Structure 1
């Protein structure tokens, strides 16, 4: 089955804004969607970018306005400055990697629960209880991350190296073969390209 590689970071507002659309596109075209969580704090400087704290205020102001517009367009609630934005993203990413390997649940529901929790519900995405509840909501064993922690940590590091080698420089980022699409606002283009348009 052909696949879409989806590079993502669960603390990203743009992954939240992407929502279920990556899964819908993959299902519509008979593609497998493979999730590859990455550490953007390491990805950005290695690919010419800057983490949010290092960006010029004009860039941060524009991004905040744009996120608010995108959220309104998509009918999503978005806290412009969530309390836990700077919390450690690794535990939620490890849980996603472990859940994907274990199978049996809905990865899209897990991603939505974590990102919605951070960007709309004031939840701490690094908290074990929040992660466990999101896994359970998505049909996974809430303890799946505990059993797969070492494998998940190794995969998380490997995903970063793979992302850099494939030209990924931000999230959400979608790769189909050699074709690349960056941003939730390019999902329509991904859909069209897979359709041959």
Structure 2
């Protein structure tokens, strides 16, 4: 028996279409397995430069084209509305990330809903999550004090930078990325079934 409850470190960007397409499936499987989630928003553009990745705009045209094909295919399969080229993407991800960090620290609301609604604002609602009014509305809608958008700036900036360093150290190179407390890693919303399987103990004893 473990002395401490299992956890999932959830590394994501509030600009990531695949973090949006994850929906609330992470929260559902975590609740099913009794696992806590630590939300770790980070600067994905900075991560690409640190881990050998390339921002979407700098990728070869064939990769850019296939990215859009895959996004549309996945959104249809999941039944989730998605705008392939949102009006406010890319935008400054820091304000929304700071707010999520502050909300996690403060507690009292639905953090999973806040994260998902923030992503949905970008990819399905054509809203600019860099705007203070949008961030405050998203906080309020998930049951948090909208004032966290202001009071959480300093701590948010520190932890946002720290999350990037932790992501690099943990071997994270994209989003969404899930790291369990026993060190298992899963990249992509299409690996949530594998994470579910792992948490159910069905891969115990397998080598890394």
User: Following the alignment from structure 1 to structure 2, what is the Cα–Cα distance between the partners of residues 30 and 113?
Assistant: 23
Q: Distance in 2 between matches of 1:22 and 1:35?
A: 11
- Offset at 1:100? 0.3
**TM-score, normalization: structure 1?**
0.98
Structure 1: distance between partners of 2:147 and 2:60: 41
Other-structure match for 1:95:
99
Q: Distance in 1 between matches of 2:166 and 2:81?
A: 33
Residue 41 of structure 2: aligned partner? 37
**Among residues 96, 115, 118, which one is paired with 2:122 in the alignment?**
118
Cα distance in structure 1, aligned partners of 2:66 and 2:114: 29
Q: Deviations over 1:22-51 (max 9, x none)?
A: 111111000001000110111011011011
Query: Which sections of structure 1, spanning at least 5 residues, go unmatched?
Result: none
Consecutive unaligned residues in structure 2, runs of 5 or more: 203-208
Work out the CA distance in 1 between the residues paired with 2:67 and 2:57.
13
Q: Does 1:131 align with 2:126?
A: no
In the alignment of these two chains, the number of paired residues is 197
Shift of 1:145: 2.3
Task: Give the secondary-structure state (helix, strand or coil) at the position aligned to 2:165.
Answer: helix
What's the offset of the Cα at 1:53? 1.3
- Note if 1:146 corresponds to 2:150: yes
Shift of residue 8, structure 1, vs aligned partner: 0.5
What is the aligned-residue RMSD (CA, Å)? 0.7
Map 1:158-197; keep pairs closer than 5 Å.
158-176=162-180, 177-197=182-202
Instruction: Provide the C-alpha distance between the structure 1 equivalents of 2:72 and 2:169, rounded to a whole number of angstroms.
Output: 32
Q: Which residue of 2 aligns with 1:104?
A: 108
Tell me the SS of whatever aligns to 2:77. Answer: helix
Q: How far 1:121 sits from its partner (Å)?
A: 0.8
Once the 2 structures are TM-superposed, how far is the Cα of residue 148 of structure 1 from its aligned partner? 1.4
Which of the numbers 61, 67, 74 marks the counterpart of 2:65?
Answer: 61
Greater alpha carbon shift after TM alignment, 75-84 vs 111-120: 111-120
Matched, 1:8 2:32: no
Q: How many Å apart are 1:114 and its aligned residue? A: 1.0
How far apart are 1:161 and its partner, in Å? 0.4
Q: CA deviation at 1:113?
A: 1.4
Quote the Cα distance in structure 2 between the aligned partners of 1:115 and 1:148.
20
Correspondence 1:76 to 2:72: no
Q: Distance in 2 between matches of 1:165 and 1:132?
A: 32
- TM-score w.r.t. length of structure 2: 0.93
